[in-house]
Amino acid sequence: MRQRLRVGLLLAMILLAGYAFLWPVPVSPTAWTAPPDPGYAGPFEADSSLSRLERLSIGPFSGPEGVAHDRAGRIYVSTREGAIVRLSAEGEHPEVFARTNGRPLGLAFDTAGTLFVADGARGLLAIDAAGAVRLLADSVDGAPISFADDLDIADDGRVYFSDASSKFGLLARAEEGASVLDIIEHGGHGRLLEYDPATRRTTVLRRGLDFANGVALAFDQRSVLLSETGAYRIVRIWRDGPRRGEQEPVIEALPGFPDNIKRGRDGRYWVALFAPRNALLDRLAAWPTLRQMLLRIPSALRPEAQEYGHIIAIDESGTVRDDRHDPTGAYPKMTSVLETERNLYIGSVSAPVLARVPARIPAGAPAPLTPALPR
């Protein structure tokens, strides 16, 4: 009897080891060195200035990830259900402006009033004033655009948009699942793409990015700022001239995963940090096999992203000019920030409402938390 028990335990251990090391998973991680985590200190000192968000109805929809406004000041948001919802300039009266039949993410208007959309399931779209949707690009160099994520438009009409991951596409996997797989693999599958309306041609401006996410033209139009989510940084990629396609860091070692980046006022760029960094994931950066094993653990037992609200504004040099927090994470998974003269409109990947706060922190706002929150 004891011998049978020992044999049974041995077989169970062999099967468990085989599952842990050999069960197929969709990632082939690479080793890398994660930058130091600055935590919530220094320019990122924790406060509660986002804790009193105003919540604006977007009707029966959810996940207002991308936010933009037209020349009349009306607010537009993309939703998980595939609708572009329009609100009045006061943030009221939500109505469906258009439906993309995909997953619209990033939004931006050109100077003629056309709304351009980075649709994670379809590619690059354009929507006219009547709400008619037109497909501009769903492939590049003969390969599909798997995860169009965010975009911005230059004054000359060229559109710059990110393909977050050419391997883990949004059509094949849920939105958050695709991002998790790409970040765990760290295989440099992200790309910055350029669409030229004069030739209707799409080209790759930069490859090898780790989950290419938010996109914003620099104020001087010479370069593009891009959120490289999987590397915790914002990089600059040059548009034209001898440095076309070259990359340099703007701000590195962020305390969270940067999502969309958007030009604001007074030379600032607003960045939403989707979630704080995960200490376990950072420790496993140099251990590809262990990162594979993470995906063999039942999903209910895996470490999850912490709900924590955090947005920052940086200038051209990457210096942090504004930093706001909501440690409660009551408005989950912030993705983008649109600055108007009076307000900041904050997007989310999953919330059933759009958030708004004053653009300037009013007198008597909550002071920084002391000590800084533990990580």
Q: Strands, E, within 61-177: which ranges?
A: 67-69, 75-78, 83-87, 95-99, 104-109, 115-119, 123-127, 133-137, 139-140, 143-144, 148-153, 159-163
In the chain, pLDDT over 90 holds for what percent of residues? 82
Determine contact, residues 270/311, Cβ cutoff 8 Å: yes
> What mean pLDDT value characterizes the chain?
90
217: its two tokens? 């033209």
pTM of the model: 0.90
User: Hey, how many other C-beta atoms are within 10 angstroms of the C-beta on 39?
Assistant: 16
57 — phi, psi (to 5°)?
A: -65, 140
- How many domains in the chain? 1
Please indicate, yes or no, if residue 128 is contained in any of the structural domains.
yes
Domain residue limits at 334? 40-358
Please indicate, yes or no, if residue 125 is contained in any of the structural domains.
yes
Please indicate, yes or no, if residue 8 is contained in any of the structural domains.
no
Please indicate, yes or no, if residue 1 is contained in any of the structural domains.
no
Alpha carbon separation from 129 to 115, 157, 181, 224 (Å, rounded): 8, 17, 37, 27
pLDDT for residue 175 is more than 90: no
pLDDT band of residue 6 (cuts 50, 70, 90) is: very low
Please indicate, yes or no, if residue 16 is contained in any of the structural domains.
no
Task: Report which secondary-structure segment, H or E, holds 223.
Answer: strand 223-228
Q: Strands, E, within 18-89: which ranges?
A: 54-57, 67-69, 75-78, 83-87
CA atoms within 13 A on the CB side of 287: 9
Please indicate, yes or no, if residue 369 is contained in any of the structural domains.
no
Please indicate, yes or no, if residue 101 is contained in any of the structural domains.
yes
The CATH number linked to 175 is 2.120.10.30
Using CA atoms, how far apart are residues 56 and 51, in angstroms rounded to an integer?
Answer: 15
pLDDT for residue 19 is more than 50: no
pLDDT digits (tens, 9 = 90+) for 118-130: 999 999 999 999 9
Alpha carbon separation from 95 to 98, 349, 355 (Å, rounded): 9, 19, 17
Please indicate, yes or no, if residue 19 is contained in any of the structural domains.
no
